Amino acid sequence: MFGPVADRLRQAEKIVFVTGAGISQESGIPTFRGKDGFWRKYDAMKLATIDAFYENPKLVWEWYEERRTNILAAKPNPGHLAMAELEKYRPVHVLTQNIDGMHQRAGSTKVYELHGSIITIKCTVCDFKDIIVTGFSELPPICKCGNILRPDVVWFGESLPQDVWHAAMQQASSCDVMIVVGTSLAVSPANLLPAYARQNGAIVIEVNPEETPMSTSMSLSIRSSAAKALPDLLTVFQR
Ligand code: BV8
Ligand code: ZN
């Protein structure tokens, strides 16, 4: 699958991945907009917003708790694992839109969570932040300061964590290979990252069973799933 760009890959000094929900699909974590999208049951555009949270914090919390339970029961798939293994051959940076922590669980060491993480919570008022290790006795959970706690994720209309976003832009602008896996590239500003890589003369490869709005501007668009294609990527370096 990576044959046409194998030489460029082997010459790569640094490989940057941009990943979305599709890379976790084969771990049993539904994507957002796909046919199995669990956002069918809920309208994510309505729920993943600060207004929905203040309007009905219990409902939004129930949605995140359902997703967190599913995520904690899921396992990294061969796609996540191949990306972690690739670190043996080249410096790898993973810019992910996912909040499921799967890249870290697979062993990737440089992961930038652009949209936050489902296993951390923060207070809506004070600067309390913590990792969630158990369930909650009541939803929404209440902070020591008396205000409600929220999932530490980036909702629509909220800005990305500035330090993470700047670091991600820096990585995208200084790599010679970018591999975009499992994202519809529908959400900004994450969908700008491939343009930063191209501006730096990088080759940009897409791994997605379906076309995306950026497929035509890719150096190579591989119509395959992450769990099938990414182990194949490893073989380019193992020859
Ligand atoms: C911001 C975290 C500014 C929470 C998410 C009009 C109105 C309102 C807003 C906007 C607008 N136009 C633009 C905006 C901005 C908005 C935006 O982009 N909206 C879109 C929808 C139009 N963006 C924002 O609001 C961002 N913030 O712009 O702030 C600002 C600046 C300063 C000050 C204040 C504000 C914040 C965006 C982050 C939103 N949070 N999630 C949570 O997860 O609950 S977004 C959500 O969508 C996820 O993070 C997800 O990662 C992201 C993108 O989805 P994908 O990951 O691509 O998943 P999707 O299902 O779409 O696609 C899956 C793909 O995988 C498919 O292509 C499929 O073919 C493929 N696939 C399937 N199976 C496989 C596979 N690929 C490989 N292998 C497989 N097996
Ligand atoms: Zn508080």
| Domain locations along the chain | 1-27+76-115+160-239, 30-73+117-153
Annotated catalytic residue: which of 80, 93, 103, 115?
115
pLDDT at res. 133: 80
pLDDT at res. 45: 77
pLDDT at res. 111: 98
Write out the residues surrounding ion ligand 2, Cβ under 5 A: 123, 126, 128, 143, 145, 147
pTM: 0.96
- Residue 63 CA, closest ligand 1 atom number: 44
Residue type (1 letter), 9: L
Phi, psi of 137 (to 5 degrees): -75, -30
pLDDT at res. 36: 59
pLDDT at res. 130: 95
- Residue 96 CA, closest ligand 1 atom number: 51
Partners of 130 in beta bridges: 121
CATH of the domain spanning 1-27+76-115+160-239, picked from 2.120.10.70, 3.40.50.11440, 3.40.50.1980, 3.40.50.1220: 3.40.50.1220
Phi, psi of 216 (to 5 degrees): -70, -20
Respond yes or no: is residue 93 known to be catalytic: no
Give every residue of the chain whose pLDDT is below 50, as ranges: none
pLDDT at res. 134: 83
pLDDT at res. 38: 55
Class (C level, CATH) for 30-73+117-153:
alpha beta
Tell me which DSSP letter residue 142 carries.
B
pLDDT at res. 156: 94
